[in-house]
Structure formats: C-alpha cells, structure tokens
Structure 1
Amino acid sequence: MPQNPAQKRFDKDADRDDGPWDVPRALIRLIEEEGLKVGDRLPPELDLVQRLGFGRSTIRETLKTWESMGVVSRNKGAGTRLTAEISRNTVRVALTIKHEAISLLRMLQVRRPLEIEAVRIAARLATPEQRKLINARAAELMAVFEAGEDWRPADHRFHNAIHDATGNPLFRQFVEQIQKCFHDIYDTPFGKAHLGEDTIPLHRPLADAIIAGDEEKAAGLTATIIDMVCTETQKISEEHHG
C-alpha cells in the first residue's frame, strides 16, 4: 500500500530524531502543523497509527502519559482532546522526562523484590570464595567511585557477583533482561549517565552485610538503594514538570 503524503512527511522527520522520543515529537509536529488548539480533538488512534507509522500500543502509552500530565483528556465519547497548549519548544523536555521517569520507575518496581531476595539468598548461601569475590568487587567499585571515574561497569560486576552467589542463574538473567528493556530505549536516563550516584557509598556496607551473612541488613540496604534511585527519579521529573 503506498504511503500518503502525511505518512511520508512524518517518517522523514522521524529519521532526524535521535532517541526514544519519536512518538511524542511526531505527535507534537502533527498538532503544530494542523494548528490544533486547546479544546480541539486529536485524530483517532488508528488514524495516528497510519499517519505517524508507530504501533498503536506505543501511541496509546504516550497519550496516557500526556493525560496524566493534564495535556490531553481522553474518553470514549469525546475522544482525545487537548487541554493544554503544547509545542516542541515549550513542553517537549517535560513530556519526554515524564515519560522516561514512568518507564524507569516501573522497571525499578519490578527489580526491587528481585534484588532484595537475591541479597538475602547470597548472604545465606554464598560460598567463602563467592564472599571473597563480592568483597573484591565492592573494593573495586569504591576505588573507581572515589577516583571520580565511571563506576557503572564496576557496579554491574558487583551486582553480578551477588546474583551468582545465589546459586540461581535466573536472578542475573531476569535483572539483566529488565535493565535491557529500559536501556534499549534510554541509554542515559534524563541525560544523567550516573543516575543513582549517591547510592554508591552504601554498596560497601551492603557487601559487608552479605559477607557477614546478615540477611536483614543486606535486604534493608538494598531496599534503601533502590528507594533512593526512585526518589531521585521522581524529583527530576517534578522539577521539569513543575
């Protein structure tokens, strides 16, 4: 089936976009080019799918985010209507950051119980060799962090050592799959390559708790670490959304 002119125009524009925000950008372009104002109705979802070239679930997710921000109102009878002015220059950053924050918080919500259970099992079942490796990985992480270098690879190795110490390869596989789902879209959340940096000092006592076999302390520190990242994520989203 040949593309209509609108489809070609938006596909061409999307080629210049450089990340996960193609759908919001394309929607904003459509709104601007059609001159839609507050109170105007957006095209139906199926029409947006055909015109913009994105999947219906992806477009629907973006519209849900916009609805939560008060940008649009949605109901079956009236369709989707603009409830606030929107343009690339005024709200694109807020929209994309809000969308990114929601995705990151969902990922952390799933990861939290997995990580807590992993440290509990590691504290209980890790062999002496595995405890030595966790200690070494923690020392490496802290040395890199204190030197002001990129600590992310060392952090990854530290957590892998914990997951391996559970004796259950599914912990590592599941956590990596969850992270991949997020980082395939968002390489550096909010443009911050070191989101969660304030949690790094807690990794040393976390390692010590696992090595000592203290399940409760290890679980508590892990929960604190993830909660700190969630709080930082929410704060960044609120700062940009107002």
Structure 2
Amino acid sequence: MPPTAARPTIAPLPPLDRASQVLDSLVTYIDGAALAPGDRLPAERELMAALGVGRSTVREVIRHFQALGVMETRKGSGTYLLKPINAATIHMPLSLDAASLRDALLQTLEVRRGIECEACMVAARRRTAEDIAIIEAKLDEMERVHHLKGTAGEEDLAFHLAIYDATHNPLFRQLLEQMREAFERFWDKPFDRPDFARRSFPFHRRLFNAIVAQDTEAARLETLKILDIVEEDIKDMAG
C-alpha cells in the first residue's frame, strides 16, 4: 500500500504587511491542498495560529471570499469552499444572485458591453498579420457552420476569443472565460433556443473588416450592434 501523501502546511507570514498577505496565503494553501467545492477549510483558530494573525484579520478575509460567492460559513460547522480557487490566476470565480434568468443575462450583458467594446478597439490597434489570419480562419469556419446549420455557437465563441487574443492582453480572455463559466448553463443555448442572436451574424464580418482596417471606432460600433441584438433577443424570449 503506497504511503499517504503529507498534508500541505499553511506557510507563516513575514512580520510586515501581514494583513495584505493573508488572502494570498490562504489561496495558495487551498490550491496546494487541492481543496474542492464542498471541502471544509481549517478552523479559525488553526488559521490564526498558522498565519500568525488575529481573529479579525481571518474573519475579514473569509468575508471577502463570502462576498465573491467562493466560501460559505455554516454555523456550528465551519467554513466550506463553494467554488475552486487557483493561486495561478489573478481573478476569482464570479457569482451573481439575480432574481431571474432574464435579469442575470441582462446584467452580464451590461458588463460584456464594456469589456468587449474595449477588447475589439484594442485588437484593432494592436493586431498583427498573424492575428488577422487566425481571426479570419475562425470567422470563415463560423460562417461555414452557420450556413450549414443555421447556428454556430462554438465557432462564434472561437471567433471572439481570437479577437481577445489579438489584444495581446490576457486579462480580456480571462474575464470572458470567467463570465462564461459562471453562466454557462444559459450562455450555450439561452432558453433552449439554438437560434439565439442569429440576427447578429452579418455584423461579425463587419467587425472583422474594422479590425483589419485598424478602425477602432468602427470596431466599437459593430460590437455594439451585435450586443444590441443579443439584448433584444433576451427581452423578446423572456417575455
């Protein structure tokens, strides 16, 4: 029988800036210990002793994670992980407590407008010849599948991810993928409608042309046209 792997320890913090490092230290421990959603975290006293900080600091960090929807404290039981945390990332899992599916979609769309418009404008400024070739290949495949099936969800995503990569700023792609992960259940086929936002299809070629021309304003406007159609479809299908 193979020996049991040693449980990772929580590394103590240096004497300076302890409070600002508690969060990072706890994330590193969770990642190293391979804690999964549903697992219980060390008790408050154990965290205090291991990190060398007071109860108020530990509770402040736990409240921060609770606000993100990452942890949950159960009275008389302890604190539990609700979503995975990776120390290699600089972002945290997103969480949204909307009253309805329609509200959740519209709230995410408000955020997407800011992120995607900026991403397309940055891509128009920074794109290289190699970026253009990749984006065009994704667009050609999207158009092929769309004409064949009437929809192209995965291909549409690949097209937009290629644009995000053309910004040469990894945060754009990280943010979009985090949002998709948080709301994946209705982003793939919202309301069980595979034809969701089909009317936006022609604007993708126009967006590509704007990026090729390095026309940042046109890229912004074409992105807004795509997202405006998405908003209209959300409202129509949600009644």
- Relative contact order, CA 8 A, sep 6+: which one is greater? 1
Deviation at 1:188, TM superposition (A): 2.7
The separation in 2 between residues aligned to 1:193 and 1:117, in whole angstroms, is 27
Quick one: structure 1 residues 232 and 166, their matched pair in 2 at CA, closer, same or farther if it must change by over 3 Å? same
Aligned partners of 2:125, 2:104: CA distance in 1, in Å?
Answer: 32
Identify if the C-alpha distance between structure 1 residues 129 and 185 changes in structure 2 by more than 3 Å, giving closer, same or farther. closer
The answer for the alignment partner of 1:229 in structure 2 is 230
Higher mean C-alpha deviation, range 183-192 or range 225-234: 183-192
Amino acid at match of 1:172: R
Q: 1:73 aligns to what?
A: none
Note the 1:149-164 alignment, pairs <5 A.
150-164=151-165
- The residue number in structure 2 matching 1:81 is none
Amino acid at match of 2:190: P
Contact (CA 8 Å) 2:151, 2:198: kept in 1 or not? no
* CA distance in 2: counterparts of 1:205 and 1:187, whole angstroms: 23
Q: Which amino acid aligns with 1:174?
A: L
The percent identity for this pair of structures is: 36
Cα gap change, 1:167/1:234 in structure 2, threshold over 3 Å: closer, same or farther? same
Deviation, 1:152, is 1.0
Q: Please list every run of 5 or more consecutive structure 2 residues that lacks an aligned counterpart in the other structure.
A: 1-96
What whole-Å deviation, never above 9, does each CA across 1:155-199 have from its counterpart, x for those lacking one? 111011100000001100101111211114665321113311111
In structure 2, the partner of 1:119 is 120
Unaligned runs of 5+ in 1: 1-60, 66-98
The structure-2 alpha-carbon separation of the partners of 1:117 and 1:187, relative to structure 1 and needing over 3 Å to count, comes to closer
Cα 1:150/1:179, change in 2 over 3 Å: same
Residue identity matched to 1:141? M
1:175 partnered with 2:184: no
Query: Helix, strand or coil for the counterpart of 2:238?
Result: helix
Structure-2 separation of matches of 1:120 and 1:150 = 26
- Say whether the 8 Å CA contact 1:135–1:208 is kept in structure 2: no
Greater than 3 Å deviation, 4+ residue runs: 184-187
Normalized per residue, the structure richer in helix is: 1
In 2, Cα distance between the equivalents of 1:155 and 1:108? Answer: 16
CA 1:187–1:205: 2 relative to 1, 3 Å: closer
Code of the aligned partner of 2:165: D
Matches within 5 A, 1:135-150: 135-148=136-149, 150=151
TM superposition score normalised by structure 1: 0.56
Given residue 154 of structure 1, which amino acid in structure 2 is its aligned partner?
A: E
Contact in 1 for aligned 2:150/2:195 (Cα 8 Å)? no
How far apart, in 1, do the equivalents of 2:105 and 2:202 lie? 22
- For residues 199-225 of structure 1, give each alpha carbon's deviation from its aligned partner in whole angstroms, at most 9, with x where no partner exists: 112101111111111111110010111
Q: Map of 1:164-203 to 2, 5 A cutoff?
A: 164-184=165-185, 188-203=189-204
What is aligned with 1:71? none
Conserved? CA contact 1:135–1:211, under 8 Å: no
2:224 partner SS: helix
Checking the alignment, whether the CA contact within 8 Å between 1:107 and 1:179 is kept in structure 2 is: no
| Per-residue deviation, residues 10-50 of structure 1 (Å, max 9, x unmatched) | xxxxxxxxxxxxxxxxxxxxxxxxxxxxxxxxxxxxxxxxx
TM-score (norm 2): 0.56
CA distance in 2, matches of 1:126, 1:166: 7
SS for the counterpart of 1:194 is: coil
SS of the counterpart of 1:147?
helix
CA-atom RMSD, angstroms? 1.9
**What is the aligned length?**
144
Structure 1 residue aligned with 2:9: none
The residue type paired with residue 144 of structure 1 is V
- Return the letter of the residue paired with 2:176: V
Q: Distance in 1 between matches of 2:157 and 2:215?
A: 22
